[in-house]
Amino acid sequence: MRRYLANRFAGMIVVIFLVLTIAFVLVRLAPGDPASLMLGPDATPEEVDDLRVRLGLDRPIAVQYFTFLTNAVQGDLGTSLFFDQPVVQVLGDRAEPSIFLALFSLVVALAIATPIGIWAAYRRGSAGDQISVTSAMLAASVPSFLTGLLFQRFLATDLGWFPVSGYGGPDAGFAERMGYLILPAITLGITNSALILRFTRASMLDILGEDYVRTARAKGMTERRVVLRHALKNAGIPIITVVGLTFALLVSGAVVTERVFNLPGMGNLVVNAVLRRDYPVIQGTLIVVAALYVLVNLATDLLYLVVDKRVKY
Amino acid sequence: MIHRTRLFLTAAATALLAAPLSAETIDVAIIGEPDTFDPMVSTKDVVSIVTQHFVETLYTFDDTWSVVPLLAAGMPEISEDGLTYVIPLREGVTFHDGSSMDSADVKASLDRWLEVASRGKAIADKVSSVEATGPNEITLTLSAPYAPLMSLLAFSNSAAAIYPEEIIAPEIETVIGTGPYKLEAHQPDQYTQLVRFGGYTQPTGAAERAQTPDEIRFIPVPDGNTRVEGLLSGQFAYADGLSTEAYDRIAEAAGAEPVLLEPFGWPVFAINHKKGLMTDLNIRKAVQAALPFDDMLFAAFGDEKFFQTDGAMYPEGWAWRTDAGVELYNQNDQEKAKGYLEEAGYDGSPLRILTSRQYEFHYQMAEVARMALEMAGFTVEMDVVDWATLAQNRDNPDLWDIYITHSPFLPEPALTSSFFATAREGWNNPEKNAILDRFTSESDPEKRKAVFAELQKIVLEDVGLIKVGNFNALQGKAAGLEGVTPSPWPAFWNAKLAE
């Protein structure tokens, strides 16, 4: 087990190193210059050059890369060109909305997907099964920005049930900030419920056909106990896998939803950073996302141990 | 059950929403985050809109765009030769750090402005000295008369802001001003919170800055649709930069009203005079003759409510309005353009139009222009990039022939950098340069108007740049909001929401 964890951590470092190298090269290959963007439309070429020197963007790429790498190892991801704050601090400020949005939307997705998925598998081939599968396809096909816009317009603007956008003003407490997440979480949750629903259904279908389920029924166990105790527990591994990956995707990839609802999360941050050519922030976000994926993968694998006693590392 | 759910949700939302808008707090949705609070170093409108509330200049503009004193006690005494400006300063003006403003602060600030601000640097070679000639008096000496000086001192964009001498440095970490509001908190990409400054003294010449709201909060909302929804839901008292498509919806809504800035500005096809095809006057004339400006504007803005097909550099109602040379505007004559191309010996090299979709109307105008230019015999190459790339590529004259941008109508024509040979477009026509010199050194307003007519004429005859027309901009306000004058740079110190 220890050896397994050591290997996984070594692999994790390699992955993060590769990601940050690729990120570094890619953002610099993109045309567009942060200095001219920061100075506004009427800045002269000389002013832009001066700022480039101040920001260290005039140094050879290799030197910039080496500096970046040595600093990153020490936990310093540089300073945001736009905010003039350490990237670690900028990312830290954006972590809260992203993580809570991911958690809430995961709860929404699971609340929708798990019962329907189990029920659809149990009633395989029935009209209800067909309807739930088709609805899942539909939910997955509608882009989240459209769902978001519709919810925003009808539930927030017309009915006034939720705030339209943002994350609260300077005096907003924790509960109020969480209130701003309800609508985006429902939006994201619905979109992501489709995948989890299909996995749950498929996984349950496999299990319900197994001999031990038949045996359980033959022993006179109630249907509820058969499905929820025996089958669901064993259908858990594929469901955990997809839930884990969905979570990582939600934290890092809720770009569109964060944009529509103007949430100051990591998705919004990275889009703005790309538009502003804020190289350190783009790199920093990519590193955090890569680390998150690797960690979630590891956590998922470790969860298998809990769910299925047969799994050994 | 449904009824109960709705009740619960409404109650929950009421508890969860930010403090509802009251007369005390004005929430303003702006198009993005100001990347600096030092208005000297930025020419961005979003920086001007926010910073004008806490940073002030010696002069400002009134509702008719005339220059009036703000931190100055009166208009300057200008010597007969137009070289010396003696500016009296208001006494008893306090900075947000509690210190009093005196001539040493003003001198240090203006020196920095001449050194770091793009509009300051542009005239630095004309300013021989800035001297504190008394505790409440400053004297500016010029090496040549320069009429736009007062407008430059009054403009909030690349502003000649006045800071305490103690904070003056090439880069200022915490900006301290004298404005009616002071910076209370800033959470990047979330809000900038301004609160009333207790030590504020009202200006003597400018309109009252009544400090009506307790707080003004600027909220960066990059998505245009979200700004509209936020305005309609009552979350924002004011929203900037709205798409004209939202006009009808806002007009029909009970809780909001559209604010149409009519006209706001002009889209422009900037021309590369340094290198390539457009350095040939016949090619420039061919482009000008071929373009169907009314079609381009219609494609870009969709409804005549939002644009005017107008070739004069300034719209009706402005002092600078003149018809000189406008017969060359909107010819829409592709045959005539073909004639110019033949005269130029055009070999079919592609005419490269650099544009972005950051502002969709730029792209839509470019598409219509492309069709007309191709009908006239041009080979057109569209280079559609994001704004960051455009901002970089336009500084390299090897990469484009025309790039598309826009500008609000500026109170002083000499603030339009494209007229100057030193601008990136490099329009260096000696005759035009001479007119421009006369324009900037003439102080008599009537004579300046006549010289400006000459300037406009040569812009059209030499095709120095191509003005596409006038366009209106849409902002929106909560129903019952008063005290905000429509402007490209709206200010909120007098804003009041109806009870």
Model pLDDT for residues B81-108, shown as the tens digit of each residue: 999 999 999 999 999 999 999 999 999 9
Q: Chain A residues with CB inside 8 Å of B187's CB? A: 93, 170, 264
Q: What tens digit of pLDDT does each residue of B302-345 get?
A: 888 899 999 999 999 888 999 999 999 999 999 999 999 999 99
Specify the higher pLDDT residue, A199 or B49: B49
Q: How confident is the model at residue B242 (pLDDT cuts 50, 70, 90)?
A: very high
Domain boundaries, chain A: 2-86, 95-264
Phi, psi dihedrals of residue B158, rounded to the nearest 5°: 55, 50
User: Computed from CA positions of residues B422, B425, B431, B435, in that sequence, does the dihedral angle turn out positive or negative?
Assistant: negative
Q: Tell me the β-bridge partners of B269.
A: B404, B466
Q: Summarize the confidence of residues A103-116 as an average pLDDT.
A: 90
Residue A251 has pLDDT above 60, yes or no: yes
* Chains A–B, number of C-beta pairs less than 8 Å apart: 160
One DSSP character per residue, B55-84 reads --BSEEE-TTS-EEESSBSSPPEE-TTS-E
Residues of chain A with pLDDT > 90: what percent? 17
Q: What tens digit of pLDDT does each residue of A181-220 get?
A: 999 999 989 888 888 888 888 888 888 777 777 787 788 7
Cα A262–chain centre separation: 16
d(CA B161, CA B36): 14
> Strand locations in B135-251, DSSP E?
137-142, 181-187, 191-196, 215-220, 238-242
pLDDT of residue A309: 67
Burial class (CB in 10 A: 0-12, 13-18, 19+), B1: exposed
d(CA B482, CA B496): 5
Residue B19 has pLDDT above 70, yes or no: no
Distance of CA B167 to CAs A270, B75, B99, B163, Å? 33, 27, 12, 7
Phi, psi dihedrals of residue B140, rounded to the nearest 5°: -105, 125
Specify the higher pLDDT residue, B15 or A270: A270
CATH 1.10.3720.10 fits A95-264, yes or no: yes
Residue B380 has pLDDT above 70, yes or no: yes
d(CA A9, CA A19): 15
Tokens found for residue B130: 């800035």
Phi, psi dihedrals of residue B379, rounded to the nearest 5°: -95, 125
Yes or no, beta carbons of B17 and A33 under 8 Å apart: no
Residue B366 has pLDDT above 90, yes or no: yes
Q: Which string of b and e fits A90-118 if b means at least 16 CB within 10 Å?
A: bbebbebbbbbbbebbbebbbebbbebbb
Which residue on chain A is closest to B118 by alpha carbon? Answer: A43
Q: How confident is the model at residue A1 (pLDDT cuts 50, 70, 90)?
A: confident
pLDDT of residue B209: 95
CA angle B359, B364, B368 (to 5 degrees): 150
Tokens found for residue B455: 């300037």
pLDDT of residue B12: 42
One DSSP character per residue, B292-328 reads -HHHHHHHHHSSGGGEE---SSS-TTSTT---TTGGG
Check if A206 contacts B (Cβ < 8 Å). no
Residues of chain B with pLDDT > 70: what percent? 95
Other CB atoms within a 10 A radius of the CB of residue B211 amount to 19
Which residue on chain A is closest to B217 by alpha carbon? Answer: A169
pLDDT of residue A70: 86
d(CA B2, CA B7): 9
d(CA B275, CA B349): 13
| Pair B383, B355: CB distance under 8 Å | yes
pLDDT of residue B1: 34
pLDDT of residue A50: 78
pLDDT of residue A253: 57
Closest CA to B409 of B463, B487, B491, B332: B487
| Average pLDDT of chain B, as a whole number | 91
How close does chain A come to B403, measured CA to CA in Å?
13
pLDDT of residue A178: 94
pLDDT of residue A182: 94
pLDDT of residue A205: 84
Distance of CA A102 to CAs A99, A116, A139, B397, Å? 5, 21, 18, 47
Element (H, E) at B28: strand B25-30
Q: What tens digit of pLDDT does each residue of B181-240 get?
A: 999 999 988 999 999 999 999 998 888 999 999 999 999 998 889 999 999 999 999 999
Check if A133 contacts B (Cβ < 8 Å). no
Check if A92 contacts B (Cβ < 8 Å). no
pLDDT of residue A24: 82
Yes or no, beta carbons of B13 and A162 under 8 Å apart: yes
- In the chain, the amino acid numbered B371 is M
Check if B2 contacts A (Cβ < 8 Å). no
pLDDT of residue B176: 96
Q: How confident is the model at residue B365 (pLDDT cuts 50, 70, 90)?
A: very high
Q: Chain A residues with CB inside 8 Å of B11's CB? A: none
Check if A43 contacts B (Cβ < 8 Å). yes
Q: Summarize the confidence of residues B359-380 as an average pLDDT.
A: 95
